[in-house]
Structure formats: C-alpha cells, structure tokens
Structure 1
Amino acid sequence: MSPKATPLLPTMGVGSYAAPGWFLASWREVRKGGWGAGDVEELLDDATRIVLADQIEAGIDILSDGELRRQRFVYEMFDRLSGLERQAPRRRLGIAGYDMAPSFVAREPIAAPKGLGAVEEFLALKRLAPASAPLKVAIPGPLTFAMSIAPAPGVLETLIAIVNAELKALAAAGAAFVQLDEPGISRAPHGLSAKDGALAVNRALAGVEAQRAVHVCFGNNAGRPMADRRLGPLMDAMTALDCDVLMLEFANRQMADSELLATLAKDYIVAAGVIDVKNFRLETPADVAERLALCLKHAPAERLIATADCGFSALPRYLARQKLQALAAGAELARGH
C-alpha cells in the first residue's frame, strides 16, 4: 500500500522521543542480564507501539520510531564500529555535559561490519506502523560520528562511506524519507569549516534514492546547546547542502532568523522547528500557529513542514506527548488561516 498523501504544512517529529518510565525501568533490568532475546524484542516492540500511538493520537502526519532502540541517537551506534578504543572522560563528577560524552581513538581501520542497525530499526517501524502511514528514519551524519573520534588520516572519509552505505541500505529496504542529524555543521569537527562539513555531508548523501533531510542542530544534551545558535553564519554551508529538506531550530531561539526562509525555501523544503523541546513550558496551539505564521511570511506553505527544534528525549513523556498534540493542533490552525 502506498503511503497516504500528507496535508499542507505536514507535521513530524525530529527523531528521538521521550521514553516511557516503564521502558526505562525495564531497560535497566535488561542491562543486568537475565532477559532472553525474545523478551527484549517484545519490550522494544511494545515501546515502539507506544511511540507510534502518541504520534497518531496527536495527529502527526509523518511517523518515526522514537529511536528507543538506541541510546542518545548516536551512542549505541559506536558499538557497531570496529577499530575504535574508548577513552575515559576527563570529568566524571557534577552535572552531565558534552565533556562526558563517549570519545574514541581509532587504533585500527574503522568499519561497520554489520551496518549501523538503522535498517533493522526501520523494518521494525514498518512492521508496527499503520500500512498507509508516511515514515521517516534518522541516523547520525558523518560529522556527528567524527566529533567523538580523534582526528586521524582517513577517519572522516571512512565515516562518510559507512553512513552512505547505511542510507543506501535504508532506501533499498523501502525507506522513502531518510534524515541525517548533523550538529557537526554548526560545530564542525577535525578543523573543518562549516561549509567543508556540509560538503562532507553531501558525500554521505550521494546516490541515496529517497527524500533526504539534514537536521542542522545546535546540540541538545539534557536540553543544552553546544554551538553558536545563529543561522546567518551557517548560510554558506546550508545552501551548499545537496538535500531535499532542511530541518532548522527556531522556537527555542524566539523565531530568530526566520527571514532566512525566504532564501532557503527556494531550494529546499524547510522543516521549521516550532516546538521548543529545551523548555518545559507547554506551547498552546495558538503559539504554534503564530510561529508558523511568521514562517509563512517568508516561505509558501508548500515549502514548509512543521516540526520540533530537536528530539524529545530530554523531556518526560507526558510533556512530549502534550507538545506533539500542540504541534498538530497548531498546524491545523495555521492551515485554516
């Protein structure tokens, strides 16, 4: 069955979703051992069903799996890369931060002998989602992986090839909408400029036969960014991207830089972040509609998607669910206007 058509100003999440409390408690038990493979699969399937139900009940148009099968959108994927040696964090005490994130040194050539696992995630999503629902799957981009690996000859090119192979495998498995999450554009690693980072992302997207999105992220570790949050300095990089959809943060920046949509929407569909996932304040549908109205001053509705600034993993589920509901209701208000 072909996916149903999406409405004007379609809605979608970015990627991660807030894990249900029972899932977090169960996952702690899984890590202790004693669960069988079938038990774990049942747990993951049930959690995915909950994530899908929250989106469907809210009225979200393009569905994703919430990334509950991996940790922090990228951490789990490092376990699928061979040739890396994990480094001990220099700081272990105090509030969690980017300096506590996993870091690695390449001791041997990097490889992903069994892929990054996104194809298995997508196939589970496809099996559990309504047959007619448009689906999206997101994976970290090569710069995101490179941010955690010490610079060395060949590292970035290898990561580009690994990500490109995963995207092509997703497309071959039937994924019609794929997304790269790239905080590495706003804070490019390995001495790259933002534009050089964008060109590296292009190589990861090359030859992928699907709708291709790039999420230009400023970071969302426990709700905190890690980069200069202005879009203006990134314009040369963003306009160099060879993709179909640009996903940008606006809500947590008080809709700053929304005038740049006039330029960006000429070449890209823009998924505008109109839900602030870094704030416990719950938006009303009217708030969302007002933010979309600002976007519509600069770009036609046909070139816009309504989304959140980033993933929902740093929020409790009850609030993430309410924000999804506000997103869908606000987009409906904006359509009516």
Structure 2
Amino acid sequence: MTSNLPLLPTSVIGSYAWPAWLHTALAAAQRGEYGPDDMLETQNDAVDLALRDQDDAGVDIITDGEMRRVGFFTAEFYGHMTGLIELPPRRKVGVVGHDQREGYEATAPVEAPAGLGLVQEFEYARTRTATPLKVPCPGPFTLAGRIRPGSIYKDRIDVAYALAAIINRELKALVQAGVTFIQLDEPSYAVHSRAGAPEEFVKLFNTAVDGVNAKIGLHLCFGNFVGRPVAKRTYRPLFPYILDVRADQLALEFANREMAELDLWREFASEKELAAGVVDVKNYYVETPADVAERIRRVLEVAPAEKVTLTPDCGFSQTARWASRAKLKALVDGTKIVRAELTGT
C-alpha cells in the first residue's frame, strides 16, 4: 500500500458522517418497515457515499466510513456474538450521554461463530474504489467495556482477552481476503489508564494482533460519542509503555487540544509512524488549509515527514456531513501546502 503514497499521506480514522436519509432509513427499519434486502441496499448506498466524499476530497487512504455500524461498535458487533444478553440503558430521558447506551452481560463464554462481518464490509468497499483502503476494528478492551462479566468472567480484562481471540481470527480472515492495513481503535486505553494498566493494554493488544500479517495501526482517543470525551484528555500515562505494542502506526488526536502533548513524540523516541490528528471533529469551526498547514508544521517539529500521516482527530460519525466534507477538503489542501514546501513542487 505505502509504495505509491505521497509524502505526508492523508487518511481518516474510520467512521464517516451519515446523510439525513440514513438516519430516517434506520428509524424505518427499527419500526419494521424495511426488510433485510432493503437495509442492505441502503447501507451499500451509504458506503458508496462515504467513499465518494473521501475520493472527492482527495484523501490518500480511506475507509468504508463504517456506514454499516450503528454507534461505532454496538449492535453491529455484539449482534454477531453469542453468550450475551442485552441490558437496558441506565438512563433513558434527557441529554444524550454515555449512560444512555445499551450494555450486555455474559451468560456463557462469548463467541462469534460467523465472525464479526468485517470481511464482508471490505469485500464490498474494494469493488467501489481504487483508492487504498484501511479497515478499522474496535479493540478488545473497548468492546469489553459494554459487557458485564456476569458469572462467566472475572473482570473486564478477562472479557477483553476472550474478545481478543475473536478479533484475532477476524483480522486473519481480513488478511486472507486481501486487506493490507488494519487499525484497532482503543479509546478506552487513554480513558482507563491507571497504575499497571498500560502494560496490560500492551499484552492485550499484542494478543489481538498476534500472527496478523498486515500493517497494523492503533488509534487512541478520549471518546467521541455525541462529541464528548469521557475522561481527562492526556496520553502521558500511556507513555512509554504503549510504544511496545506490535503496531506500525499510532493514531493520536491533537487538533482539539490545540496540539498539546506533541512533545511526547519527541520525549519518547520511536520508530513507529505517527498518524497525527490535525482536524478537530468536535468543533464546527471549519479549518482553513492554512490552519491545517500550521498544525502539520508543528507535527514535523517532533516527527520526520517520512513517518507522518495526517488525519482528523477521530471519526466523523458525530459530525454533520457538510462539516465533514469541508474538513476533509481542508485536510487535503493543508497537506498539499506543506508537501510543496518540503518537495519544492
């Protein structure tokens, strides 16, 4: 994948903004007005839209927008699993928040007999674009956060290791299908970091990617449901431990924190690639290309251009489509400014 990419390639994290009609289609499906073929057609159209918007903006490495995934990882992942019962939300009325999301409890060892559906997502997307594709997947610790151990598992980490085995099989199936770049999303690492946790996160991550013959990325953020983080926004407790993950690239959010903690990359030298978030998905201020270029220059103060990819901070699923399109264009155009400065072309 990387051989034909330009210096400072642009990419996305994973999810893309839904068009209005996809929201209404999902509501109709939940009322029983859509059959499975109706919903498949709708989701295919949504993937086509996400791919087109990214291609129109000129992004170098794209995803299918996770358009088949409702709420990042909820029903579309847990629905593939056995051994779970769904629990009601803790709060159903008022301002939308993390405590209004569904949860599950393990009643038997968790399995995914038919996989998690990622292979099918990829196989459709690769027929619809010639642009290099990355496949994002929620990591086991983040997925485990919505599963109570019940009497089956000891704690969240125990659940996560069971999920790591499921994810590992899925990632190997993706490679078999032709995927060359896989990203695990683990916002929960930064959110739940504590004494001893980073080392355990590294072991867990490495278990999930063991034997997976592809470029591996790890996306670390602070949560983005309804555009709201869920904890202190600092990566420092994860460093330097997180550099021991078997990942080729770390994707970190910087733009929404005014580029704070870039110095961590200088303080803890690493041969890993840095996918630097230079577009703020939590803000409806649409960056200009000059804004993005200035952020990129700051990234290049701590990392060599040959090791840098430019991305938004997180996925666009919680951002309106009009803003997502404009921010993607600013990302690409700002990158072109700095690329020209570096190459003289």
Question: Normalising to structure 1: TM-score of the pair?
Answer: 0.94
2:38 matches 1:39? yes
Q: Runs of 5+ in structure 2 lacking a partner?
A: none
Q: After the TM superposition, which residues 1-337 of structure 1 pair with which residues of structure 2 at under 5 Å, given as runs?
A: 5-76=4-75, 77-130=77-130, 133-151=131-149, 152-153=153-154, 154-188=158-192, 193-263=197-267, 266-337=270-341
Per-residue CA deviation, residues 65-98 of structure 1 (Å, 9 max, x unaligned), is 1011111120121111111122222211211111
**Matches of 1:301 and 1:201, distance apart in 2:** 27
Residue by residue over 1:148-192, the C-alpha shift from the partner in whole angstroms, topping out at 9 and shown as x without a partner, is 112423422211101111111111111110010001211339996
What number of residue pairs does the alignment pair up? 334
Query: Cα distance, 1:101 vs. partner?
Result: 2.0
Shift of 1:42: 2.1
CA distance in 1, matches of 2:257, 2:145: 24
Deviates more, 1:22-31 or 1:64-73: 22-31
Give deviations 1:127-162, integer Å, cap 9, x for gaps. 1112xx211010100001111112423422211101
SS in 2 for 1:127: coil
**Distance in 1 between the 2:195 and 2:268 partners?**
26
Contact 2:278 / 2:312 at 8 angstroms: preserved in 1? yes
Identity of aligned residues (%): 43
Post-superposition shift, 1:9? 0.5
8 A contact 1:187–1:194 mirrored in 2: no
- Cα drift, residue 109 of structure 1: 0.9
Q: Distance in 2 between matches of 1:190 and 1:139?
A: 24
CA RMSD of aligned residues (A): 1.8
* Inter-CA distance 88–30: structure 2 relative to 1 (3 Å threshold): closer
CA distance in 1, matches of 2:304, 2:89: 47
Mapped to 2, the partners of 1:157 and 1:191 lie a distance apart of 19
Contact kept in structure 2, 1:188 and 1:197, CA below 8 Å: no
SS in 1 for 2:244: coil
Q: SS where residue 279 of structure 2 aligns?
A: coil
Distance in 1, matches of 2:133 and 2:267, equals 28
How far off is 1:39 after superposition? 2.7
8 Å contact 2:198–2:238 — kept in the other structure?
A: yes
User: Could you tell me how far apart the structure 2 residues matched to 1:82 and 1:37 are?
Assistant: 21
Cα deviation, residue 264, structure 1: 5.5
Whether the aligned pair in 1 keeps the contact of 2:243 and 2:270 (CA below 8 Å) is: no
> Within 2, Cα distance between the matches of 1:190 and 1:309?
23
For structure 1, the 5+ residue unaligned runs are none
Task: Specify whether residues 54 and 139 from structure 1 end up closer, same or farther in structure 2 by C-alpha distance, changes over 3 A only.
Answer: same
The answer as to whether partners of 1:196 and 1:237 remain within 8 angstroms in 2 is no
1:276–1:309 Cα contact (<8 Å) kept:
yes
AA matched with 2:66: E
Cα distance change, pair 71–191 in 1 and its aligned pair in 2 (3 A): farther
TM-score normalised per structure 2: 0.92
SS at match of 2:218: strand
8 Å Cα contact 1:259-1:298 kept in structure 2: yes
Q: Find the residue that maps to 1:164 and give its secondary structure.
A: helix
